[in-house]
Structure 1
Amino acid sequence: MTERLDTQRLAALPAAILRPAYDRAAVRPGIVHLGVGAFHRAHEAVAIDDCLAAGDSGWGIVAASLRSPDTRDALNPQDGLYTVVDRDSEGDRFRVIGAILRVLVAPEDPAALVAAMADPNVRIVSLTVTEKGYTRRSDGTLDEDHPDIRHDLAEWGRPRSALGFLAAALEARKAAGVPPFTALSCDNLPSNGATLKALLTRFAELRSPELGTYVRDKVACSSTMVDRIVPATTDSDRALVDDALGVTDAWPVVTEPYYSWVIEDDFPAGRPDIRTPGVLFVEDVAPYELMKLRLLNGAHSTLAYAGLLLGHDNVAAAFTDPDARALVDALWRESAATLPDAGLDSDDYCARLAIRFGNRALRHKLDQIGTDGSEKLPQRIAMPLRENLAAGRKASAQASAIAFWIAALERRGKGEFAFTDPRLDRLTTLAAQADANAAAGDILALLGLGDQLEAARALVSPVLELIRREGARAAIRTVAAASR
């Protein structure tokens, strides 16, 4: 199939394919998005496509990759168009999204991205750059010695980091008398808006005290909670989409029907009137964010490492394994105990998660979820573990999640599994220590357990020893039984 999806071919797509029901030529950019991966294209871009369809034409997206040209090379020849496939046991539903107007590649022309962000019509800059994209130290503060941070301060006009691009664009807007945009983090970080604000303020201070004051006093960084499962696109997914459309789509995305986006309503420069089902504008995102981080993301990470050790390769296969399911149920009980009483129903949320995790039509790879564990586990597992230990509550399932991570790292160091981590060499060396107590202690120290480190080690190291001695399944059964 040689014809490529583009604007000219939209009208000829089969009738069953949903497509933009608006004049894309009339759409103006109002959002710049940093990190144009699959999640953004199945989440924020879908909601913005709904806004454009409702006639709110000032919110088109200029998307940017901070590293690779692959997404640009796939989407720009398609006029930014691509297909989202909603998939569950009832089948696939296809929709072509038109919200992305063009894709930039930051390393090729950093000034072009800064200029796009400085455009007075742009009122929001959103981010999905993953946890490691925030260039933080383990204590959450800015890593001022990070190579990208040092580069961006020395080469101000040619940033590499997300913070560098944000600060350079804000400085340009300030100099031109243009009001600042709202920075909107869509990454899985606790208090992601406040976290971004603190990091960006500190980075701006390193540039100049005046810019630091400007960011602190004038720039809104709204918090969000994002929730949709988006596995990596496979070649079979591409072939399926091509057959359904009758033309080639170089990079479709496949996702679940479930959609949730909770947004702190703080947009001084204005915001789109998003009415997509599942979108909520609220005063305080924290309760939603905490529930998602600890129940969905925490369970995902636990399933990733335990599931790999049990011989599974995707979420549904791991979750429908009775032993792994018992472990997740125990984790949910422990983590739910740490949630604030904010009127949210954690039991109902877990019941919905069970349906989503069991979606066999959506093969969400465990290696994908297990990537960057050192960045993810502090907020997903270690923080609620620390709170349970301090309160004298059960925490054996949470501790075992860390033990399974250590065991998976040990196997990763031997060439098994495919998940990656920015600290992989150091982690695999620590995990391979023959003394389980030493391995657990050294890795726990990286997760910020603070004054509960020794109590956590007392729970983690016996599970790690049991995994090494009798295998992952025996360890899971022991932990699950103790957690009842």
Structure 2
Amino acid sequence: MSVKLSLANLDKLPERVARPNYRQADLKPGIVHFGVGNFHRAHQAVYLDDLFDAGLDHDWAIVGAGVLPADAAAREKLKAQDWLTTVVEQDSGHVAARVTSAMIDYLVPGDVEAIVARLAEPKIRIVSMTITEGGYFIDPASGKFNPESPEIVADAKNPSAPKTVFGLVLAGLARRRAVGTPPFTVMSCDNIPHNGRVTADAVIGLARLFDPELAEWVQHNVAFPNGMVDRITPATTEREKKFLTEEFGIEDAWPVFCEPFRQWVLEDRFPAGRPALEKVGVTFVNDVSPFEQMKIRILNGGHAVIAYPAGLMNIHFVHEAMQEPLIAAFLKKLEHDEIIPTVPPVPGVAIEDYFTLIQQRFSNPKIGDTVRRLCLDGSNRQPKFIIPTIADRLKAGKGIAGLALESALWCRYCHGTTDSGAVIEPNDPNWDRLQATAHAAKDDPSAWLAMEDIYGEVGRSSLFAAAFAGHLNTLWQIGARETLRRFLG
């Protein structure tokens, strides 16, 4: 018989399910987090749960917040189970379930006054976020904040009723400034190069549009530490819910399944204070850049390398893609020949060992990560995970044949059909534009690279354009499988 997840039922859970060693009622809020999705609940919330379990820093509990329509549904699911989450770790030789209780409240999405009031409370000393790579209003080609984004323009015109995360953060900071409360630290937990700087650009850039003095104050008084986060965490489906009920006897409306591996590297810039996360495995450094570049290029870039050929071959799961010899060999060749050489030395890390670990993680048959998830949102991910590597290779006069093939595979995927003719459902916020451009590129490959906001200078490289066009034409002639076979020789 299964047990519905709730505080009242914690003692009724099976013995092999780990549960908090602390009482949720004894926690006090210290962090407001925007974007309470699967990754946050498998990563930041788990580290804090470990810390609270150790009897430490109970005044750093999480208060959830959100701005998207989906956030309201997520809040209702978590509210019905007292903000608890079941986290299931799986790989080929390991499965374990734990219930975490690091979040103690979740503000109603859209309730601007309640969110800003909570942000203004002195006990809130960190505001963190996981709002996806596309949530920062970055111009893909330049990598800089775009103040002309419609949502940003709307917030600048009506700063008292913001609808973006950055508008809400500014409203909270402005209220604290007005009453003399020291500012909180703003901490991005998204997979973006220099995510702290990018977040600062968005917050300060928005402020400049309507209050230059506030912008100046934020620039000189608010900390935005950079960080590298890592844990493979797929979306939750009925498959995961059913497994949790059958294997562990728990009814959880929104469990999280993830790999056992996790990593968090943070710059230690928290003037308002921070929890002692170094005691539960977080690495604090002066400069996160080497770790960040290693992870974003090798892991996130590697995800893109395997995703699009797998999508064109109708492969569903990521571990199944790694079982396809052509895809595994393509990943290995492209990483060794073109990606890893652009990664600088990382303190205490052997890059080859790191890549071996990445291959093992991608091959985890228990995690259930899907190829479609990896293919999602290429218009925001490619400019962060792939195109900077191409740019570095071109500047160094090095070969880009494999990276050009990866880009051609993305273009071919966005055409909207697999090699077998199966329809690929829209899988990008800009799908209509991408699909139309991919259709044009079938006859004129330069149409794809002409997306200046995505490719920028890389798209104007004659060397890259020639390699891209050759690969795209080959993909249309013989398909992804035979193209990989030919490329691998």
Q: Into which bin does the TM-score normalised by the smaller protein fall?
A: over 0.9
Structure-2 change in CA distance of 1:116 and 1:63 (3 Å)? same
CA distance in 2, matches of 1:391, 1:131: 27
Q: 1:64 Cα shift?
A: 1.4
Q: How does 1:289-304 map to 2 (within 5 A)?
A: 289-304=292-307
Alignment of 1:454 onto 2:462? yes
Structure-2 change in CA distance of 1:452 and 1:386 (3 Å)? farther
Q: 1:2 Cα shift?
A: 8.4
1:136 is matched with 138
Among 82, 86, 106, the alignment partner of 1:83 is 86
Q: Deviations over 1:404-450 (max 9, x none)?
A: 00000012599822352222111111111132422343247622234
Q: 1:136 Cα shift?
A: 2.0
The runs of 5 or more residues in structure 1 that have no matched partner are: none
Q: 1:337 Cα shift?
A: 0.7
2:334 is matched with 331
Structure-2 change in CA distance of 1:87 and 1:274 (3 Å)? same
Q: How does 1:220-231 map to 2 (within 5 A)?
A: 220-231=223-234
Percent identical across equivalent pairs?
A: 37
Which deviates the most, 364-373 or 441-450?
A: 441-450
The runs of 5 or more residues in structure 2 that have no matched partner are: none
Q: How does 1:28-67 map to 2 (within 5 A)?
A: 28-55=28-55, 56-67=57-68
Q: 1:4 Cα shift?
A: 2.8
CA distance in 2, matches of 1:278, 1:358: 24
Which runs of 4 or more aligned residues in structure 1 lie more than 6 Å from their structure 2 counterparts after TM superposition? Answer: none
- Structure 1 residue matching 2:463: 3-state secondary structure: helix
The AA in structure 1 aligned to 2:238 is: D
Q: How does 1:118-197 map to 2 (within 5 A)?
A: 118-138=120-140, 139-197=142-200
2:435 is matched with 428
Q: How does 1:88-107 map to 2 (within 5 A)?
A: 88-107=91-110
CA distance in 1, matches of 2:481, 2:97: 39
CA distance in 2, matches of 1:161, 1:242: 37
Structure-2 change in CA distance of 1:455 and 1:111 (3 Å)? farther
Q: 1:341 Cα shift?
A: 2.8
Q: 1:98 Cα shift?
A: 0.3
CA distance in 2, matches of 1:287, 1:36: 27
Compute the TM-score of the two structures, normalised by the length of structure 1. Answer: 0.95
Which deviates the most, 271-280 or 228-237?
A: 271-280
Structure-2 change in CA distance of 1:276 and 1:95 (3 Å)? farther
Among 206, 213, 218, the alignment partner of 2:216 is 213
Q: 1:124 Cα shift?
A: 0.6
Q: 1:355 Cα shift?
A: 0.8
Alignment of 1:321 onto 2:324? yes
RMSD: 1.8
CA contact (8 A) 1:142 1:203 kept: no
CA contact (8 A) 2:458 2:464 kept: no
Alignment of 1:402 onto 2:407? yes
CA contact (8 A) 1:30 1:121 kept: yes
Q: How does 1:107-126 map to 2 (within 5 A)?
A: 107=110, 109-126=111-128
CA contact (8 A) 1:444 1:457 kept: no
Q: Deviations over 1:141-171 (max 9, x none)?
A: 3322322112212222221111111111111
CA contact (8 A) 1:403 1:463 kept: yes
Compute the TM-score of the two structures, normalised by the length of structure 2. Answer: 0.94
Structure-2 change in CA distance of 1:444 and 1:338 (3 Å)? farther
Q: Deviations over 1:46-65 (max 9, x none)?
A: 00111111221011000112
Q: 1:400 Cα shift?
A: 0.9
CA distance in 2, matches of 1:210, 1:195: 20
Which deviates the most, 306-315 or 445-454?
A: 445-454
The AA in structure 2 aligned to 1:31 is: I
CA distance in 1, matches of 2:144, 2:377: 18
The AA in structure 1 aligned to 2:130 is: T
Structure-2 change in CA distance of 1:70 and 1:329 (3 Å)? same
Instruction: Tell me how many residue pairs correspond in the alignment.
Output: 480
